[in-house]
Amino acid sequence: QSALTQPASVSGSPGQSITISCTGTSSDVGSYNLVSWYQQHPGKAPKLMIYEVSKRPSGVSNRFSGSKSGNTASLTISGLQAEDEADYYCCSYAGSSTSWVFGGGTKLTVL
């Protein structure tokens, strides 16, 4: 059982927008602006897409955006493309004794 809760799957058609939620607690997501999101294609290492809730690393498309409200963080992908089909994981800092916790992952299908 993962510390952060994500939907198992989401889907959307090309060009549409989707949002993936990531629900934690007041000890992790709710306490720190250190939520990050990762994209993982089959057989590949995860790739950082969003850090510090809403910041994009250099080279990541501005179609990816992040936000947070209370204990829930969200990743939104606009203008869906076939290459966005992948697994997505959220991650949050949870304090010095626990450090980092991940969500269980969400499989995005582009219809």
Partner 1 sequence: QVQLQESGPGLVKPSQTLSLTCTVSGGSISSGGYYWSWIRQHPGKGLEWIGYIYYSGSTYYNPSLKSRVTISVDTSKNQFSLKLSSVTAADTAVYYCARDHGGNSGFGYWGQGTLVTVSS
Q: Are 6 and 87 in contact (CB under 8 A)?
A: no
Binding string, residues 60-99; x marks residues near partner 1 by CB under 8 A = -----------------------------x-x-x--xxxx
Read off φ and ψ for residue 2, nearest 5 degrees: -75, 155
SS3 call for 14: coil
Pick the binder of partner 1 from 10, 34, 67, 85 (CB under 8 A).
Answer: 34
SS3 call for 83: helix
Q: Between residues 9 and 16, which has the closer beta carbon with respect to partner 1?
A: 9
Q: In sequence order, which residues have a C-beta less than 8 Å from that of residue 96 and are 6 or more positions away?
A: none
Pick the binder of partner 1 from 18, 38, 68, 110 (CB under 8 A).
Answer: 38
> Contact between 103 and partner 1 (CB under 8 A)?
yes
What is d(CA 53, CA 32) in angstroms, rounded to the nearest whole number?
Answer: 9
**Chain residues 43-62 in contact with partner 1, contact rule CB under 8 A:** 44-48, 50-52, 55, 57
Q: Are 21 and 6 in contact (CB under 8 A)?
A: yes
Binding site for partner 1 (CB under 8 A): 2, 34, 36, 38, 44-48, 50-52, 55, 57, 89, 91, 93, 96-105
